[in-house]
Structure 1
């Protein structure tokens, strides 16, 4: 049986632009693959995964399923092991778990001229925050300031930071700030922060990279006095890496005619 079915799962999922991106990519590559979306929550994930037959090639996973996908994977790549999060499952001979968010962040920042950073601030403590931490460590960061509503939830992030050779701390959003080169906001789209919280964060926060892209500008980006970058670049580049995995199992190996594929995906984002 030909493995031609793919989908993105998460909750909520109606806002996802992944079906448009992947659809444009597969048309450009001449692949007769179907990519859909499905609302799946944490409780339903196990049964939903077990119900898939041999026509399924892979899955993209978004909030809140990245930790569940990590547990479901038989083998995982290095970024998935480091972060404890899987956003891509290759279902043949597996499932095999991958994290393309790390590379997607590095690629998106590089495209915007940010190739190295020394100090960063991460807002949030979930799976995407862990991916952001690994990404900036690979870009040369040495100091990290993590902000979370419940700092205890971010203790695992600081353990990861130590493994990666970073120093830093976990604090509440309204704690005093020090200047950083880059702020990465990993909060869900539409998150509203109190004015008293936003005010110190926008001062000396460097460039803002907000993984949210709908609505844009985000609440934080609308207040940012300097340069702000939306999560559309990350969405694009993590999807490119997913498509490489679905095609040949390696997120770092460039596809034939990939430039044509990426331009078709960019056109979707512009529309």
Structure 2
């Protein structure tokens, strides 16, 4: 049997074991995926220990993604993003970031292409970095909006190396949303237990807008309920989680996992 795992601190909330084990079972693969609590101070030993034990691969979650850059050999994209969420052991210790691909695929799976689109991205944290780099690289025009505009400006200046990107505070969100095709929330606003919170309300939206919330617990966030009220298209965060996981699965195994099985496993657990 081959082992895989996710490292984080905390990590008990992770849905990755549910999702990957469902995929392994569906494909009849003799593999298991588990969650391991690892502090940043122990990350080097944990990654090298997994290699020594013959693990097939790892995922990394908060607060380990940035720290891993100095431990693995990062891909060009992971280096640009400044974070690693997937580790592969086939040839040494290679690090990748599949978060941006997860967001792009979640949109594509709902029939939304990003090339030539105006995207307003709320937040300037780790998830925002991955999404901004991916979408700008794929030809979207991205505005990063953050409560502290300085953080948005700093991120925008980095992402501008790969595409068209600007920055903003939250003060003129309504005007920004009027001009955008896709609104993405990459902050934790609306996540359980703060389920009544939202940065944007229906009166700020238009019906041609696509609203994508990367929060997946709850599946129907206040932001998505506001989007439906405005007649806008609403996309929940489950598919980003599933598609970033599917990309990691491909990197480790060379096989395409059953995305529908992974999605069903996650949605059932969240219910």
> Where in structure 2 are the equivalents of 1:1-271 lying within 5 Å?
4-52=2-50, 53-74=52-73, 76-116=74-114, 117-142=116-141, 144-171=142-169, 173-176=170-173, 177-178=175-176, 179=178, 180-188=180-188, 189-190=191-192, 192=194, 197-199=199-201, 202-204=204-206, 206-224=209-227, 225=230, 226-248=232-254, 255=255, 258=256, 261-271=258-268
With normalisation by structure 2, the TM-score equals 0.83
Moved more, 46-55 or 233-242: 46-55
Q: Secondary structure of the equivalent of 1:198?
A: coil
With normalisation by structure 1, the TM-score equals 0.83
Structure 1's 234 and 201: CA in aligned 2 closer, same or farther, altered over 3 A?
A: farther
Q: Distance in 1 between matches of 2:217 and 2:37?
A: 18
Q: Distance in 2 between matches of 1:194 and 1:265?
A: 28
Q: Distance in 2 between matches of 1:193 and 1:25?
A: 30
Structure 1's 110 and 31: CA in aligned 2 closer, same or farther, altered over 3 A?
A: same
Shift of 1:98: 0.8
Moved more, 179-188 or 159-168: 159-168
Q: Distance in 2 between matches of 1:125 and 1:201?
A: 24
Shift of 1:244: 0.9
Structure 1's 23 and 194: CA in aligned 2 closer, same or farther, altered over 3 A?
A: closer
Q: Which ranges of structure 1 fall in alignment gaps of 5 or more residues?
A: 249-254
Moved more, 210-219 or 8-17: 8-17
Q: Secondary structure of the equivalent of 2:160?
A: helix
Give me the CA root mean square deviation: 2.7
The answer for the alignment partner of 1:251 in structure 2 is: none
* Alignment: residue pair count: 257
Q: Distance in 1 between matches of 2:41 and 2:242?
A: 28
Q: Distance in 1 between matches of 2:185 and 2:198?
A: 17
